[in-house]
Amino acid sequence: MAVKDARNLFARLLPKPRKALAAEGICCVGPQVVVDVGVDDSRVERAVRRWLDGIVSVPPFSSRSEAAIRVVVDDAVAQRPGGYRLTIQPGRIELIGASAAACFHGLQTLSQLTSQAAGQVSCGVVEDWPTFATRGLLHDVTRGKVPTLATLKMLVDRLSLLKINQLQLYIEHAFVFSFDPSICRADDGLTPDEVRELDRYCRERFIDLVPAIASPGHMGRILSMPKYRHLAEIESAQPWERMNWPQRARGLTLDVSQPESRTLIRNVWNDVLAAFTSPVVNICGDEPWDLGKGRGGGRFDVEGMGTAYVDYLRFVCDVCASDGRRCQVWSDVIRNHTDLLSRLPGDLTVLHWGYDDDADYEATRRFVDAGFDTFVCPGTSGWKRIINAMGLAERNISTFADAGSRYGAVGLLNTDWGDHGHFNQLACSWHGIALGAACGWDAQHPIGSAFDERFASTVWGLEDASVVDQLRRVSRVADSCETWRLMGTPLGEMLEDATLPTIEAAEELAGDARDCGALLGSMSPCDGAIAQDFSELAVACLFSELFAERVLLAHSAGTQSAASVSQPRAAAHSPRPRAAGFSPRGHTVSADAPSARAAMDAYAQCWNERNKPSGLSDILTALQESVGLARSHDPEVR
């Protein structure tokens, strides 16, 4: 890479450093470089070796004063918690961190500066520190899509590059429990051995792997099983396999008043705590829709709902505390029972969440003022969508980060959910994931095109952000429409949905999706993970085009139906029929229509590249039902 390009990398660092000044000159990391790591944490030395491994042959490290690369801890120099100072001069690089973790995060900056410059880096100085002590991502691994261990490690590698220090795995049932293996098979969830290996991988990269275990709500899979059905507040009328996605998302609620319910929860947590080493656990506690409305209703009156809920939280906290763990809990229930806050354990961390423009951002202050460590929790806005609502996610993440900074929150936990079968693919969430990391590091981090350029360069190694700009165009409809949910809706019912895009919006989406797909198809990245990202994004563009055509067909069907009744005037629009398989029976499809069958095949291939088989058959069945395809040529479910 040219010197000029190497200097430009300072302007592409992600997260953007607080202070970064490029200077004249170039530092070349050459063969037999002398390295001194004066940090009392062997993980930092190994991180330095991993960084150098792709650049030069690494000799034995030395404490000699003439070392060309020096990494040390000195909190007198890096005075802010989590802060570091990186100084690059011709022939010398010095990284001083306030802690071992700060040194590690400084190394991620250095890695970005050298990643595209073949060991050459422009001279300069970076001084940096985070807004939030904890910067996390919650990743849904239970709503249908269960990542392979290799995928989770790739996720961890990228998160560490972005200075994330906490990863939560959200689990309702997708874990192989030793107390009852019938809850989940290894193909349908994570095994304890996989979690232990991932846990070690995370700790090596200064990331805390945290379990997020749903209860007392969102326990649909477990509480629909015959042996546990009697523990639900309102018993399920059908097995899990026959529930639709809205029913699964709502889940079933545990009757917390039964002693047997507490035995079940104790068994769940005993198995989970044996696999995860984090001193922190997320006990969830969100959306217990049926609490006190069924079996438990006769045991306490309506006024006792809050008390019963808090008593249950205290029980789960006691179970986890007995193993030395601190607990986190979602905010949605306790913010409605602020009179009970004084009864909660004092060391409980409140995870204050909200995912749309009407989220109660200001309520962050309520929990901080009550004395609780508080995280602000925005989202990537990918659930129930084909491509994430990038604009909505950007507003949500940046606004929550600002509120957290103003009111003294100690963490930002970005969330990447997978409601309705987890159709949304990981690649579609990376823009929101990276923005959460950036705003977690600096609550006032630049957004919009300034962020896009840093994101495209750091995560995908691109020279410009044209792909990100195209994705933003494709994602605009998703800001106000759950595209995946609506795609499976019958045409007649689509017309009754207030979020149905207009004819003009659908036509624009179809064109934007084709253009973006073509641009992605023209790229050939060498990195396998990036190539897989682009494949997933291309498939998402194809489904976005198919969705647009289905919207046009719905409008066409509505126009024809209205005309057959009153025939007030000729229809002003005749939609171009393009979506093969998505048209009503008897409709003529154009020859250049994107193939629904080919889209399903490509989607299945992408799924199998990064995930276990669990959940794919549900997605394919839903697509077959919505597009009317025969089932004799299903894409391969591994």
Q: Are 243 and 283 in contact (CB under 8 A)?
A: no
* Structure tokens, 144: 């249908």
Count of Cβ atoms closer than 10 Å to residue 260 Cβ: 11
The predicted structure's pLDDT at residue 28: 86
Same domain for 71 and 96, yes or no, is: yes
SS3 173: coil
- Of 113, 128, 143, the residue that ends a domain is 128
Q: Give the mean model confidence (pLDDT) for residues 366-385.
A: 97
The predicted structure's pLDDT at residue 586: 29
* Structure tokens, 341: 């806050």
The predicted structure's pLDDT at residue 140: 98
Backbone angles phi, psi at 431, to 5 degrees: -60, -45
Q: Are 377 and 360 in contact (CB under 8 A)?
A: no
Interhelix angle for 466-475 vs 503-521, to 10°?
A: 150
In a domain, 243, yes or no: yes
Over the stretch 198-225, which tens digit does the pLDDT of each residue have? Answer: 999 999 999 999 999 999 999 999 999 9
Q: What is the domain-level CATH number for residue 185?
A: 3.20.20.80
| Selection from 289, 284, 290 nearest residue 265 by Cα | 284
The predicted structure's pLDDT at residue 105: 98
Averaged pLDDT of the chain: 89
Which residues make beta-bridge pairs with 193?
A: none
Backbone angles phi, psi at 404, to 5 degrees: -60, -40
Q: Are 123 and 168 in contact (CB under 8 A)?
A: no
Measured CA to CA, the distance from residue 264 to residue 268 in angstroms comes to 6
In a domain, 44, yes or no: yes
Same domain for 242 and 363, yes or no, is: yes
Q: Are 216 and 285 in contact (CB under 8 A)?
A: yes
Q: Tell me: pLDDT of 398 over 70.
A: yes
Q: Give the mean model confidence (pLDDT) for residues 525-544.
A: 96
Same domain for 204 and 111, yes or no, is: no
In a domain, 219, yes or no: yes
Least confident of 300-304, 351-355, 397-401, 467-471: 300-304
What type of residue is 632?
A: S
* Structure tokens, 387: 């491509």
Residue in this structure with the two tokens 């790739």, named with its chain if needed: 154
In a domain, 495, yes or no: yes
Q: How far is CA 387 from CA 88, 199, 467, in A?
A: 40, 30, 14
Sign of CA dihedral 69, 73, 76, 77: positive
C-alpha dihedral (265, 269, 270, 273), degrees to nearest 10: 180
Same domain for 161 and 255, yes or no, is: yes
Q: Tell me: pLDDT of 228 over 90.
A: yes
DSSP 84: E
Measured CA to CA, the distance from residue 632 to residue 609 in angstroms comes to 23
Q: Helices (DSSP H) in 25-165: which residue ranges?
A: 42-53, 100-115, 149-161
Q: What is the DSSP string of 348-412?
A: PEEEEE--STT--GGGHHHHHHTT-EEEEE-B---TT-SS--HHHHHHHHHHHHHHHHHHT-SEE
Same domain for 50 and 155, yes or no, is: no
Q: Are 312 and 273 in contact (CB under 8 A)?
A: no
Instruction: Pick the most confident of 63-77, 254-268, 487-501.
Output: 254-268
The predicted structure's pLDDT at residue 573: 36
Backbone angles phi, psi at 352, to 5 degrees: -90, 115
Measured CA to CA, the distance from residue 195 to residue 519 in angstroms comes to 37
**Strand pairing class (120-128; 19-28):** antiparallel
Over the stretch 424-483, which tens digit does the pLDDT of each residue have? Answer: 999 999 999 999 999 999 999 999 999 999 999 999 999 999 999 999 999 999 999 999
- Of 95, 128, 161, the residue that ends a domain is 128
Provide the pLDDT confidence category of residue 305 given band limits of 50, 70 and 90.
Answer: confident
The predicted structure's pLDDT at residue 480: 95
Q: Tell whether omega for the bond before 216 is within 30 degrees of 0, i.e. cis.
A: yes
Measured CA to CA, the distance from residue 472 to residue 117 in angstroms comes to 29
Same domain for 160 and 115, yes or no, is: no
In a domain, 369, yes or no: yes
Q: Are 484 and 384 in contact (CB under 8 A)?
A: yes
Same domain for 500 and 382, yes or no, is: no
DSSP 220: H
In a domain, 272, yes or no: yes
Same domain for 316 and 261, yes or no, is: yes
Sheet containing strand 35-38, edge to edge, reads 19-28, 120-128, 84-89, 92-97, 69-73, 35-38
Measured CA to CA, the distance from residue 420 to residue 98 in angstroms comes to 44
Count of Cβ atoms closer than 10 Å to residue 493 Cβ: 11
The predicted structure's pLDDT at residue 300: 58
Same domain for 122 and 168, yes or no, is: no
- Of 392, 424, 445, the residue that ends a domain is 445
Q: Give the mean model confidence (pLDDT) for residues 35-62.
A: 85
Q: Give the mean model confidence (pLDDT) for residues 307-317.
A: 93
The whole domain housing 53 covers 3-128
The predicted structure's pLDDT at residue 591: 35
Over the stretch 144-155, which tens digit does the pLDDT of each residue have? Answer: 999 999 999 999
SS3 225: coil
The predicted structure's pLDDT at residue 564: 58
Q: What is the CA radius of gyration of the chain?
A: 26
Same domain for 398 and 334, yes or no, is: yes
Q: Residue 263 contacts by C-beta under 8 Å, 6 or more apart in sequence?
A: none
Measured CA to CA, the distance from residue 251 to residue 246 in angstroms comes to 8
In a domain, 473, yes or no: no
Over the stretch 97-125, which tens digit does the pLDDT of each residue have? Answer: 999 999 999 999 999 998 766 678 889 99
Q: Name the region of 391 (left: φ>0; alpha: ψ -120 to 50; beta: rest).
A: alpha
The predicted structure's pLDDT at residue 337: 81
Q: What is the domain-level CATH number for residue 85?
A: 3.30.379.10
Question: Per the structure, how many domains does the chain have?
Answer: 3
Measured CA to CA, the distance from residue 40 to residue 44 in angstroms comes to 8
Measured CA to CA, the distance from residue 158 to residue 166 in angstroms comes to 12
In a domain, 579, yes or no: yes
Cα angle, residue 150 at apex, residues 173 and 472 outer, rounded to 5°: 85
The predicted structure's pLDDT at residue 210: 98
Q: Helix/strand/coil (H, E, C) string of 426-473?
A: HHHHHHHHHHHHHHHHCCCCCCCHHHHHHHHHHHHCCCCCHHHHHHHH
Same domain for 158 and 95, yes or no, is: no
Backbone angles phi, psi at 628, to 5 degrees: 75, 30
Q: Give the mean model confidence (pLDDT) for residues 402-426.
A: 98
Measured CA to CA, the distance from residue 393 to residue 388 in angstroms comes to 8
Q: Residue 22 contacts by C-beta under 8 Å, 6 or more apart in sequence?
A: 7, 10, 122, 123, 124
Over the stretch 553-607, which tens digit does the pLDDT of each residue have? Answer: 999 887 766 665 554 433 333 333 333 333 333 233 333 445 888 999 999 999 9
What type of residue is 56?
A: V
Percent of the chain with pLDDT over 90: 75
The predicted structure's pLDDT at residue 30: 79
Same domain for 288 and 319, yes or no, is: yes
| Selection from 488, 480, 492 nearest residue 244 by Cα | 488
